[in-house]
Structure 1
Amino acid sequence: MRFRHCPSLIAASVQFTAAANITILGPGDLHQDVADSFLFCLNATGIYYRLYIDAGITIVLPPNNRGIDTDEDDEFLLQCMMMACDTMSIAAEGMNEDNENHMNSVYASLVTYEWLVEQGARGLRAIGTRPALTLEDIAGRDGGENEVSLAKRNCFVL
């Protein structure tokens, strides 16, 4: 009797395994193609964002001393960040409060890969995996919340 591998079963097994695990990211080197793609995307939004580096994280600031609004003004910023979030350490920060780092920020249109590296910007790399939490795991950890609150909470877990 010969065994034949069914490609769809193998693919389903791989997808199930991938869905059952969460990749843990850690600091790594920032690669030029990642940085260039992110900067191109950011500058293509047409909004004059500013950048600074804090503890290896590239921080994006909006113009005009405003907060971040990913539902309207900054929806394309969110798309750029989602594109690079598994390979580059990035965050967005509103300018509603005074922060001395804001004074050292630079317009994204002037930023290069070399500048990012000189300032200490970091990339991200996979350093391990762990099983994804189930609703039962969360309920056990949180003391048995009801299903509605668990479902709402699960919507915010990436």
Structure 2
Amino acid sequence: MSDKPYYEQEYHAPESDIPDPSVGEIFKGLFLYPFTWAARSTRKAFWVAFVIQFLLTIVIGVISVAVFIPNGVLSVSRNDMSWVLTHIGFGVWLIELILFILLIWIKLGLLGYAVRRLHDANYSGWWLWLIIIPFGWIIVVIFLLLPTVEEPVRWGSYLFVD
């Protein structure tokens, strides 16, 4: 023990086994591990992944609209949609298909993060089904905001832990 009073002693942060993932690891988890359900993700990892997917969704939407602008699609009325189907080239449809698949993959990655985040708070991933009922998403957001349970849970360990 030190002879100094507690308020003059040097601060030592409590030790924790919770990993602190880098943005690169979070990005990797979003794209490479969307179906890894039996694991855990920290609050930081989930919310950074949420922001990344939100920004990527906006970028994909802007690119999707920008692809159609040179073809005059945005000026077509609802009654003339057959014109769109006949005057849009294969390249535009291919770009749109690739962007759609990328968007779905990003959303699946966030779903994987949400399930792992619920596991980190010691809840089952099945709680995500609450988002389909009115105001059930509020309960899910509260669960996603809960702190990490620092004891062993039944769903494995964190991704990227050495």
Give TM-score scaled by structure 1 length: 0.24
More helix by share: 2
Look at both structures and tell me which one has the larger radius of gyration over its CA atoms. Answer: 2
Structure 2 length-normalised TM: 0.24
